């Protein structure tokens, strides 16, 4: 009976590791085994070439079997180019026989990640996901190294905390914060993570705001620039400017400049940001224009006018004279009369001081 039996018909291993392709073979008992070898290529009409004799395979591929019934092949320091279908062949004194192929896969990436939106049938993977959709991330392995592998999840190269170790992760309502580059791997083989897969989340404008330049006091006749900022994906494709109490838009574009500004430009301004996902208005920005005109056109004229007016008023006023009358509690003392206002002096407790203001009108020229 002729046969070649393999322990596994399909083997998946990691690049740089070693593998034993275990097998056994049988033949008629009265035959003597003359030659055993492994090969990968077999051209019809030609005897296949022994892998051990292929240049570059010395020390890399070794036959660990014998010429009785063991046909194990060992490959060390596996290369990606070692992926192929391997077959064992033996020749006896009475014939020859080749076994069926064994599939060997050498991979540099243990895992592969893909995501899909639950509302879109598989196998379609969208280039972007709308905010609010449910998204499922799935990690698959090219090599079943463990019967029940546990998985690790990463975002932007950092482990995702508090994530399950299953092969799938569900994001119930995706948001802009979930956007990033995701990868996964089998625990115990973290050096062989899957290639990163970018999750792009689209959303309408948010955090829309207005900034003013210059930020100092705005003087009449100067220039002011308003700038609108907004977070959106895809980016904002249209900005519109409005002023309170004005129905029609004032301008369009991310920046709005007002030159030679006047008091009529004072008021509340806001911008509107728009992309294909929606529209968002900023909060109002108050613009106050200060009057830069002087209070007096000619200070020297003002001073002269004021002085002249004061002089005229003085001429028109009657002459005023003040006097103070000092009363003493002692009747024997004389009562002095002062022609000018006397500053108060410390008096003895028994004295009373009273003051009076007397007005004298000078006679006009007609009465002199």
Q: What is the pLDDT of residues 122-158, one digit of tens each?
A: 556 677 899 999 999 998 877 766 667 888 999 999 9
The per-residue pLDDT for 144 is: 67
Single out the residue in 172, 199, 226 at which a domain terminates: 199
261 and 273 in a common domain? yes
The answer as to whether 368 is a domain residue is no
The answer as to whether 306 is a domain residue is no
97 and 175 in a common domain? no
Contact 132, 171 (CB under 8 A): no
210 and 159 in a common domain? no
Single out the residue in 199, 232, 247 at which a domain terminates: 199
180 and 127 in a common domain? yes
Positions of the chain with pLDDT under 50: 295-353, 355-360, 362, 364-368
- pTM score above 0.85: no
SS (H, E, C) the chain: CCEEEECCCEEEEECCCCEEECEEEECCCCCCEEEEEEECCCCCCCCCCCHHHCCCCCCCEEECCCCCCECCEEECCCCHHHCEEEEEEEEECCEEEECCCEEEEEECCCEEEEEEECCCCCCCCCCCEECCCCEEEEEEECCCCCCCCCEEEEECCEECCCCCCCCEEEECCCCHHHCEEEEEEECCCCCCCCCCEEECEEEEEEEEEEEEECCCCEECCCCEEEEEEEEEECCCCEEEEEECCCCCCCEECCEEEECCCCHHHCEEEEEEEEECCEEEECCCEEECEECCCCCCCCHHHHHHHHHHHHHHHHHHCCCCCCEEECCCCCCCCCCCEECCCCCCCCCCCCCCCCCECCCCCCCCCCCC
159 and 83 in a common domain? no
275 and 253 in a common domain? yes
The answer as to whether 18 is a domain residue is yes
115 and 103 in a common domain? no
The per-residue pLDDT for 135 is: 92
The answer as to whether 297 is a domain residue is no
CA distances in angstroms from 99 to 9, 21, 27, 64, listed in the order given: 11, 13, 12, 17
Report the CATH number at residue 254: 2.60.40.10
166 and 101 in a common domain? no
The per-residue pLDDT for 365 is: 46
Radius of gyration of the chain (CA): 51
Q: What is the pLDDT of residues 57-103, one digit of tens each?
A: 999 999 999 999 999 999 999 999 999 999 999 999 999 999 999 99
260 and 355 in a common domain? no
Q: How many domains does the chain have?
A: 4
The answer as to whether 280 is a domain residue is yes
The answer as to whether 244 is a domain residue is yes
100 and 27 in a common domain? yes
Single out the residue in 48, 75, 107 at which a domain terminates: 107
The answer as to whether 322 is a domain residue is yes
- Domain hosting residue 72, numbered range: 3-107
The answer as to whether 36 is a domain residue is yes
């Amino acid at each position: 009976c002729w046969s070649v039996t393999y322990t596994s018909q399909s083997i998946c291993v990691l690049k740089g590791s070693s593998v034993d392709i275990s097998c056994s073979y049988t033949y008629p008992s009265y035959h003597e085994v003359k030659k055993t070898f492994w090969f990968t290529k077999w051209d019809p009409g030609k005897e296949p070439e022994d892998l051990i004799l292929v240049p570059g395979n010395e020390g890399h591929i070794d036959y660990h079997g014998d010429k009785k019934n063991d046909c194990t092949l060992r490959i060390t320091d596996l290369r990606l180019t070692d992926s192929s279908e391997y077959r064992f062949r033996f020749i006896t004194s009475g014939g020859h026989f080749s076994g069926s192929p064994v599939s060997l896969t050498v991979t540099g990436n243990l895992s592969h990640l893909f995501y899909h939106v639950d509302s879109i049938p598989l196998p379609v993977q969208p280039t972007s996901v709308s905010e609010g959709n449910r998204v499922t991330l799935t990690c698959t392995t090219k090599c079943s190294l463990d019967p029940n592998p546990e998985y690790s999840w990463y975002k932007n190269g950092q482990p995702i905390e508090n994530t399950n170790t299953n092969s799938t992760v569900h994001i119930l309502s995706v948001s802009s914060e979930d956007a990033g580059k995701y990868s996964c791997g089998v625990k115990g083989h973290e050096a062989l993570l899957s290639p990163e897969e970018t999750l792009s989340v689209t959303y309408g404008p948010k955090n829309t705001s207005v900034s003013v330049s210059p930020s100092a006091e705005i003087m009449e006749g100067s220039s002011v620039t308003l700038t609108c900022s907004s977070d959106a994906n895809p980016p904002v494709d249209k900005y519109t400017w409005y002023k309170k109490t004005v129905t029609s838009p004032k301008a369009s574009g991310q920046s709005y400049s007002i030159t030679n500004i006047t008091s009529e430009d004072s008021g509340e301004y806001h911008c509107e940001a728009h992309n294909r996902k929606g529209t968002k208005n900023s909060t109002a920005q108050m613009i106050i224009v200060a009057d830069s005109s002087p209070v007096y056109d000619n200070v020297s004229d003002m001073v002269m006018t004021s002085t002249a007016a004061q002089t005229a008023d003085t001429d028109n006023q009657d002459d005023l004279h003040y006097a103070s009358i000092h009363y003493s509690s002692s009747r024997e003392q004389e009562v002095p009369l002062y022609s000018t206002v006397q500053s108060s002096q410390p008096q003895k407790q028994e004295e009373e001081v009273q003051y009076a203001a007397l007005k004298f009108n000078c006679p006009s020229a007609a009465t002199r």
